[in-house]
A = this chain, B = another copy of it.
Amino acid sequence: MATIHIRNLEIVTLNEDGTLLHDADLVVQDGRIALLGSAPVDLQPDEVIDGRGKVAMPGLINSHCHSPMTFERGWAEDLPFDRWLNEKIWVGESALTSDDVYWGAALAACEMIRSGTVAYNDKYFYMDRVAEVVRESGMKAALTWTVFGIGEETEMGRGLAGTVEWIKEMHETGEGRVRTYLGPHSPYICPPEFLSRIVEYAHELGQGIHLHLAESEDQVKQSLERYGLRPVQHVNSLGVFDVPGGCVAAHCLAIDDTDTRILVEKDVHVPHCPITYMKLAMPFPPLEARLNAGVNVCLGTDGPASNADMDMFATLRQTALIDKYQSLNSEMIPGDTALRMATQNSARALGFDDMGVLEVGAPADLILVNIDAPHMRPTHSLIANLVHSAKGADVTDVMVDGRWLMRARELKTLDERRILYEAEQHAQSMVQRGMSQVREYKG
């Protein structure tokens, strides 16, 4: 692969020392970062790019989402949670086809690349179609095919056995850009025997597990009634955290100190999706206890039917703002902490442990952000400006494994015009079909 030389950059490395480089060079060779600092005069790159007025930083990583759900963006607004779910989300999804998933996921990929996301942890149905999007887009992703374990008729696409076959075919394909997780929905839907079977499969396949966990006090109460254990302790007792590929437990909003200790001991990755919690009016605690205890809290958008966007810059800022407000402590979540949660911490949750930092030898998974704009001036603090003032639209260029996915705001791998058209058609048609089915059923 080519040698790419980007000059005159500000560089936010997010390495251990938090090194910032001013007016520096960044050289990419064979898909990895070959140099940061000052390029030798005899360098003979295939491509030279002027980075003046731009900052290079690690690409953002979305640690928990349901990307195809762009098809329900803006379709379930300002409703209480149960009506949001029962009258809208599930009604639309009842008519879901594999093609809806493909176009919804493709739309999400356009949005993610445009707002500086290079990798995502996606959990949904018909994930064979999302894998197509990952391969075509050039992004990296960990993919989880959600299963319920409460009757074949609820499984969209494939049951557990089917998703196991799919994982065998899929894991570490796409030049290593596609990883997989086993995907029980949650312990409040999946019976314990079903979770145990998944744990067995995980050991057999060398895989991890990605599930929803402890989203509310109601779930805690239900779990105590059913199993005599809180959700975290219940799934821990089933071995969910001891699987070879590790565990991603989204949300963990209703946890106590014992739960927190278990999450740390078992090195569980905990995606935090504040915009979704706020929009759906879900109670959630500030992050201090979890961060201080050493939980790997990472950032995600959750699905676009609840968040309304897949823009990790929006989530980055919201994470800092809501935590300062919740804890009534403006020192919480300084910019650097927020950035690491959205890069390195998220990278670990996807199993791409070498992502999320700019250093020699790391994969060239990076973004350029325009700082030559009114809202990014003055530059007293590049970090503060990136977290609190930058927007997804400030990202000008996106590179994964040394390949441009976006150059100067132009998508290089996806046919955006066609995707905008098809995604709109499929989304409208899907929710119409869903509503007709419900009317027939009720009639």
Interface residues of A (CB under 8 A from B): 70-75, 77-81, 84, 107-108, 110-111, 114-115, 275, 277-281, 283, 308-311, 314, 318, 320-322, 324-325, 327-335, 372-375, 377-381, 384-385, 388-389, 391-394, 416, 419-420, 423-424, 427-428, 431
Chain B residues, Cβ within 8 Å of A277: 325
Known: A74-B388, A278-B324, A281-B328. 8 other contacts (CB 8 A): A74-B380, A78-B332, A80-B329, A281-B327, A309-B375, A309-B389, A377-B427, A378-B427
Check A331–B419 contact: CB distance below 8 A: no
Check B428–A378 contact: CB distance below 8 A: yes
Check A377–B107 contact: CB distance below 8 A: yes
Chain B residues, Cβ within 8 Å of A78: 330-335
Check A420–B388 contact: CB distance below 8 A: no
Q: How many copies make up the complex?
A: 2
Question: Nearest residue in B to A423 (C-beta to C-beta)?
Answer: B377
Q: Which residue in B84, B114, B329, B389 is a CB contact (below 8 Å) of A281?
A: B329
The 5 lowest CB-CB distance pairs between A and B, nearest first, are: A308-B388, A393-B393, A378-B427, A74-B384, A111-B374
Cα of A394 to Cα of B373 in the assembled complex, Å = 15
Known contacts being A325-B322, A330-B80, A388-B309, is A107 close to B374, with CB within 8 Å?
yes
Q: How far is the CB of A333 from chain B (nearest CB, A)?
A: 8
Q: Which residue in B330, B379, B391, B394 is a CB contact (below 8 Å) of A280?
A: B330
Chain B residues, Cβ within 8 Å of A332: 78, 281
Question: Nearest residue in B to A92 (C-beta to C-beta)?
Answer: B380
Q: Which residue in B71, B373, B389 is a CB contact (below 8 Å) of A308?
A: B389
Check B77–A335 contact: CB distance below 8 A: yes
Q: Which residue in B81, B115, B331 is a CB contact (below 8 Å) of A330?
A: B81
Check A278–B322 contact: CB distance below 8 A: yes
Most buried by B among A74, A84, A114, A372: A74
Check B392–A391 contact: CB distance below 8 A: yes
Q: How far is the CB of A129 from chain B (nearest CB, A)?
A: 17
Check A374–B79 contact: CB distance below 8 A: no
Chain B residues, Cβ within 8 Å of A375: 111, 114-115, 309-311, 392
Cα of A331 to Cα of B280 in the assembled complex, Å = 9
Check B280–A73 contact: CB distance below 8 A: no
Check A374–B330 contact: CB distance below 8 A: no
Check B75–A380 contact: CB distance below 8 A: yes
Cα of A377 to Cα of B374 in the assembled complex, Å = 27
Chain B residues, Cβ within 8 Å of A391: 311, 314, 391-393
Cα of A378 to Cα of B419 in the assembled complex, Å = 11
Known contacts being A324-B281, A325-B322, is A377 close to B73, with CB within 8 Å?
yes
Q: How far is the CB of A222 from chain B (nearest CB, A)?
A: 19
Cα of A424 to Cα of B378 in the assembled complex, Å = 5
Check B309–A279 contact: CB distance below 8 A: no
Q: How far is the CB of A202 from chain B (nearest CB, A)?
A: 34
Q: Which residue in B278, B331, B420, B431 is a CB contact (below 8 Å) of A372?
A: B420
Q: How far is the CB of A196 from chain B (nearest CB, A)?
A: 35
Chain B residues, Cβ within 8 Å of A419: 374
Question: Nearest residue in B to A392 (C-beta to C-beta)?
Answer: B391
Question: Nearest residue in B to A324 (C-beta to C-beta)?
Answer: B281
Check A70–B378 contact: CB distance below 8 A: yes
Cα of A308 to Cα of B423 in the assembled complex, Å = 34
Check B322–A73 contact: CB distance below 8 A: no
Question: Nearest residue in B to A53 (C-beta to C-beta)?
Answer: B420
Check A378–B330 contact: CB distance below 8 A: no
Known contacts being A374-B419, A375-B115, is A388 close to B279, with CB within 8 Å?
yes
Could you pull out 11 A-B pairs where Cβ atoms are within 8 angstroms? A75-B378, A78-B335, A114-B373, A280-B324, A281-B332, A283-B328, A374-B416, A374-B419, A378-B424, A391-B391, A393-B394
Known contacts being A330-B78, A331-B80, is A281 close to B377, with CB within 8 Å?
no
